Amino acid sequence: MKISNNLLGLLNILIFFVSIPIVYFGIIANKTHSGGECLDLFRKPFLVVGVFVMVMSIFGIIGGCCRVPSILWTYLAIMFLVLFAYFSVWIFAFFITWKPGGGTEIIGTGHKEFKLNRYTEWMQMRVQDKKNWKKIKHCLILGDYCPNLMPGNGTSLRDFNKVELAPVLSSCCKPSVECGFSYENPTVWKKKNNSASSNPDCKAWDNDRKVMCFNCESCKAGMLEQLIISWKAMHLFRTLMLGFLCFVYAVACCAFKNTREKF
């Protein structure tokens, strides 16, 4: 039926227009170097994905609207690989989030503390790797993360304890409660010389905004918790995208069958 060819063309025209801002953002990001390593983590993959989607949509438009069997066959072959890769990522998302993680609530506060052993070994290895963690830490320092997102310096301890902190803020921007440090402001804590805590994070803490608790195990755990929250929030989108790709592939199969019968 011709409708399958026309529908495939329309779907890929839509995908083409969606890819334009992705490619544009990727080009601008690659021309901008002020972001340092933080931006380097995302700029090239973002551009590659945008260009790939754009090229794929062009193949789909030509194959669907012009009814070229060889183009459609190539489109189907690549789409199959894309579907396989995307489904693998979809399954992988469940793999890295199956272990619940989560933090221990600190009684009387809106804060939680996080432990690395509550996450999968694969995730732990990602943040324990010195090279990976150096990049993550550099991003936190470069963006002045803690001072910019924590409550103001005039916040009292009572008010600070009422604030519900995100996992990264709670684990990277303040010392563990078991350290027993004296509160001065949200990002400045006075160490006690007679602290009996055996937690190595207590020694790692420093009021220097370039140090904070960025070398703490709790900070690494907080980053993993933030990652899990993000992946879970994106689950519905990933599922809908997988369904959409399956639909496009099914339409492409019908279009290919219809085009082959014409020749």
Residues 10 and 72 in one domain: yes
Which runs of E-coded beta strand occur in the chain?
104-105, 112-113, 182-185, 188-190
- 78 by Cβ neighbours in 10 Å (0-12 / 13-18 / 19+) ranks as middle
Residues 18 and 125 in one domain: no
Exposure string over 126-148, b if 16+ CB within 10 A, otherwise e: bbeeeeebeebbbbbbeeebbee
Residues 110 and 124 in one domain: yes
212 pairs with which residues across the strands?
206
Residues 126 and 92 in one domain: no
**What is the residue-level pLDDT of the chain in tens, covering all 263 positions?**
467 778 888 888 888 887 787 677 667 655 554 444 454 544 566 667 778 878 888 888 887 777 778 888 888 888 888 888 878 877 877 777 666 667 888 888 888 999 988 888 888 898 999 988 988 888 888 888 888 888 887 889 899 988 888 899 999 999 998 888 999 999 899 987 666 678 899 989 999 989 999 999 999 999 999 888 877 777 777 788 788 888 888 888 888 887 776 55
Residues 36 and 124 in one domain: no
Residues 69 and 155 in one domain: no
d(CA 222, CA 167): 5
Residues 94 and 108 in one domain: no
Q: For 105, which DSSP code? A: E
Give residue 143's domain range: 104-226
d(CA 87, CA 238): 9
How many C-beta neighbours within 10 Å does residue 125 have? Answer: 10
* Residue-level pLDDT at 197: 72
d(CA 48, CA 260): 32
Residues 109 and 209 in one domain: yes
Pair of tokens at residue 219? 């900070």
Residues 20 and 93 in one domain: yes
Residues 81 and 143 in one domain: no
d(CA 168, CA 140): 10
Q: For 139, which DSSP code? A: H
Give how many domains the chain has, as a whole number. 2
Residues 87 and 181 in one domain: no
* Residue-level pLDDT at 208: 92
Residues 125 and 207 in one domain: yes
DSSP line for 161-209: HHS---HHHHHHSS--GGG-PEEEETTEEE--TT-----HHHHH-BSST
Pair of tokens at residue 138? 């550099």
Q: Could you tell me the pTM of the whole model?
A: 0.73
